[in-house]
């Protein structure tokens, strides 16, 4: 991973990413656009938390992917075959002032934004409307970037969504097209610099897990464990959490998206971690399950080893040409067989089960893999076969609500032509290794 020097010694959290990454990403996108097209990408909104306070700002992943700019009030315009070369890539950023500098600190100069993004033509955002009209008069096709994720639809219109409606009202006879399918297919395949950034996030996550292993004992609160992990994240230059962390002890470990993290960890219970550092906007996504007192009971170990066995065999299936459908069918069949061996139900019961409600789903309710990258549930076409360069999670689990514990083990896997590469191989997952580290305290 190559880095360029920090810009003007501003206190960047991480070394500036080589702009060749963003230059290449824009080039790959441009190759997919129709002739005489303009594509427009808006930054995320700043969201009010309460009073005059905003939530911590996080850039729109697509805009960051194409520019490396993490600053609010940013617009990227691409018109790859415009007759004037200067209009083929234009970055608009907020113009700073003495008042902004005093109250909110430094904002990028044009030269800084140029160095980060590799875009020659950087303008103040106040000039956007005038240039937009000129580009729209030239263009035939307009690519707009509306967030598309099948499991999520926001009740609040995003900046991109509002912009799309305004633009279509002003220019109703242009041909409007979707950027999201193109970017989804591009973002699914990670370049080497992206893989390096994900590995950094994973390495930091591993350090946080090691810290937690030495900290956890009966009587600690879930939020205290979270604090230990987040301390390690920030000390290692992570942005923070890639998503709200799950620190779930006892019965809480059977709640798939438990995020309250406010209960006491009790002797004899398990505690399930689902957490990941975000580094340079790229996220890790790791799950581990450990005994609060440092020692698995025979019953806990039995099911821990079951989940670990399933995970190891599932990872082998992560090769180019496989599909989510085939992969999930394999994993589901395997975990069903293991559950029968563990006497959770019988083959006879399986033969007479409702096919729409298979018995194994009582104990394993979620999928086993998703894409990972700038978003923890990254842009993905789940009908696309596995390809080299994809980074996927592998996360089987088992949840025994009647017995008060759930187990999930999640690793991050890079698919290559030479077989799966476990990017999280350095994070302990063997039961004996976990117990040995915890015993040292």
253 lies in a domain? Answer: yes
Residue 74 has pLDDT above 50, yes or no: yes
Q: Distance between CA 272 and CA 277 in Å, rounded? A: 16
Beta-strand runs (E) in 214-328: 240-241, 246-249, 270-275, 277-279, 282-283, 286-291
pLDDT digits (tens, 9 = 90+) for 13-68: 888 899 999 999 999 999 999 999 999 999 999 988 999 899 999 999 999 999 99
**Closest residue by Cα to residue 375 from 100, 84, 132, 148:** 148
Same domain, residue pair 139 and 235: no
Nearest to 128 by CA among 166, 179, 81: 166
183 lies in the same domain as 236: no
Same domain for 172 and 250, yes or no, is no
Residue 59: the pLDDT is 96
Residues 153, 231 within the same domain: no
User: What's the CATH code of the domain at 36?
Assistant: 3.40.350.10
Check whether residue 171 and residue 297 sit in a common domain.
Answer: no
| Side-chain half-sphere exposure of 340, counting CA atoms within 13 A | 14
79 within domain boundaries: yes
Q: Is residue 18 part of a domain?
A: yes
Whole-Å CA distances, 395 to 34, 314, 421: 39, 9, 15
Instruction: Please report the pLDDT score of residue 52 as a whole number.
Output: 85
Q: At what angle do helices 222-235 and 192-215 cross, to 10 degrees?
A: 140
For residue range 377-398, list pLDDT tens digits in order. Answer: 998 998 999 999 999 999 999 9
For residue 2, being part of any structural domain is answered with: no
pLDDT digits (tens, 9 = 90+) for 352-375: 999 999 999 999 999 999 999 999
Residue-wise pLDDT for 278-319, tens only, equals 999 999 999 999 999 999 999 999 999 999 999 999 999 999
Is 380 inside a domain boundary? Answer: yes
CATH code of the domain containing 365: 3.90.230.10
3-state secondary structure of 310: helix
Mean pLDDT value across residues 225-244: 97
Q: Is the Cβ–Cβ distance between 127 and 92 less than 8 Å?
A: yes
Cβ atoms of 218 and 261 within 8 Å: the answer is no
Which of 188, 203, 225 is at the close of a domain? Answer: 188
Mean pLDDT throughout 230-256? 97
Sheet with 37-42: list strands edge to edge.
Answer: 121-124, 89-93, 75-78, 37-42, 141-144, 175-178
> Cα(365)–Cα(16) distance, rounded to whole angstroms?
41
Residues 176 and 217 in one domain: no
Residues 160 and 294 in one domain: no
Residue 7: is its pLDDT beyond 60?
no
Contact assessment for residue 240 and residue 233, using Cβ atoms and an 8 Å cutoff: yes
Q: What's the CA angle centered on 399, arms 394 and 403, to 5 degrees?
A: 150
Least Cα distance to 180 among 232, 221, 145, 139 occurs for 145
142 in Cβ contact with 171 (< 8 Å): yes
Is the pLDDT assigned to residue 4 strictly greater than 50? no
Claim to verify: residue 336 and residue 204 sit in the same structural domain = yes
**Residue 376 included in any domain:** yes
Is residue 392 a contact partner of residue 371, using CB atoms and an 8 Å limit? Answer: yes
Mean model confidence pLDDT for the chain: 95
177 CB-near residues (< 8 Å, 6+ apart): 34, 37, 141, 142, 143, 144
Give the residue from 188, 214, 238 where a domain finishes.
188
Same domain, 207 and 158: no
- Provide the pLDDT for residue 151: 73
Q: Is 97 part of a structural domain of the chain?
A: yes
**Do 64 and 97 reside in the same domain of the chain?**
yes
Compute, in degrees rounded to 10, the torsion defined by CA atoms 337, 343, 347, 349: -130
| Whether 206 and 68 share a structural domain | no
E-strand stretches of 94-188:
121-124, 141-144, 175-178
* Strand, helix or coil for residue 73: coil
Closest CA to 246 of 222, 268, 279: 222
User: Where is the domain boundary, 137, 172, 188?
Assistant: 188
Work out how many domains the chain is built from and give that number.
Answer: 2
| Tokens standing for residue 141 | 């096709």
For position 10, what pLDDT does the model report? 43
Q: Is the pLDDT of residue 221 over 80?
A: yes
pLDDT for position 9: 36
Does 425 lie in the same domain as 278?
yes
Residue 267 to residues 189, 271, 338, 408, Cα–Cα distance (Å): 44, 11, 28, 20
Q: Does residue 40 sit in helix, strand or coil?
A: strand
Radius of gyration over every alpha carbon of the chain, rounded to an integer in angstroms = 24
- Domain range for 101 is 7-188
Task: Assess if residue 174 is contained within a domain.
Answer: yes
Closest to 200 in 3D by CA, of 407, 418, 1, 10: 1
pLDDT at residue 12 tops 80: no
């Amino acid at each position: 991973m190559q880095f360029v020097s920090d810009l003007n010694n501003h206190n960047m959290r991480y070394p500036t990413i080589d702009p060749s990454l963003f230059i290449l990403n824009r080039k790959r996108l441009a190759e997919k656009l129709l002739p005489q097209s303009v594509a427009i990408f808006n930054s995320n909104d700043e969201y009010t938390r309460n009073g005059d306070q905003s939530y911590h700002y996080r850039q729109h992943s697509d805009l960051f992917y194409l520019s490396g700019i993490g600053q609010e009030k940013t617009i990227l315009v691409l018109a790859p075959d415009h007759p004037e070369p200067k209009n083929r890539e234009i970055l608009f950023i907020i113009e700073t002032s003495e008042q902004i500098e005093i109250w909110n600190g430094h904002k990028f100069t044009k030269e800084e934004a140029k160095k980060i993004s590799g875009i020659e033509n950087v303008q103040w955002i106040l000039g956007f409307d005038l240039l937009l009209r000129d580009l729209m008069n030239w263009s035939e096709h307009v690519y707009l970037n509306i967030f598309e994720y099948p499991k999520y639809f926001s009740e609040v219109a995003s900046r991109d969504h509002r912009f799309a409606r305004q633009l279509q009202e002003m220019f109703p006879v242009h041909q409007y097209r979707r950027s999201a399918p193109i970017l989804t297919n591009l973002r699914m395949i990670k370049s080497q610099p992206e893989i390096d950034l994900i590995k950094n996030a994973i390495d930091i996550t591993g350090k946080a897990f090691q810290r937690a292993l030495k900290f956890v004992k009966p009587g600690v609160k879930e939020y205290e464990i979270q604090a230990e992990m987040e301390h390690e994240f920030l000390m290692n230059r992570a942005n923070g959490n890639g998503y709200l962390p799950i620190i779930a002890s006892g019965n809480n470990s059977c709640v798939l998206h438990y995020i309250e993290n406010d209960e006491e960890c009790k002797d004899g219970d398990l505690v399930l971690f689902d957490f990941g550092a975000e580094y340079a906007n790229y996220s890790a996504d790791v799950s581990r399950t450990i005994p609060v007192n440092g020692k698995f009971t025979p019953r806990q170990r039995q099911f821990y080893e079951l989940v670990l066995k399933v995970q190891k065999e599932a990872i082998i299936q992560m090769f180019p040409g496989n599909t989510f459908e085939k992969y999930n069918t394999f994993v589901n069949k395997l975990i069903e067989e293991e559950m029968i061996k563990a006497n959770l139900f019988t083959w006879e019961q399986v033969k007479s089960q409702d096919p729409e409600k298979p018995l194994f789903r009582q104990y394993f309710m979620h999928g086993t893999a998703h894409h990972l990258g700038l978003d923890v549930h990254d842009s993905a076409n789940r009908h696309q076969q596995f390809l080299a360069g994809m980074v996927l999670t592998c996360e089987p689990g088992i949840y025994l609500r009647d017995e008060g514990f759930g187990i999930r083990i999640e690793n991050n896997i890079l698919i290559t032509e030479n077989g799966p590469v476990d990017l999280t191989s350095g994070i302990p997952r063997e039961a004996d290794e976990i117990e040995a580290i915890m015993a040292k305290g």
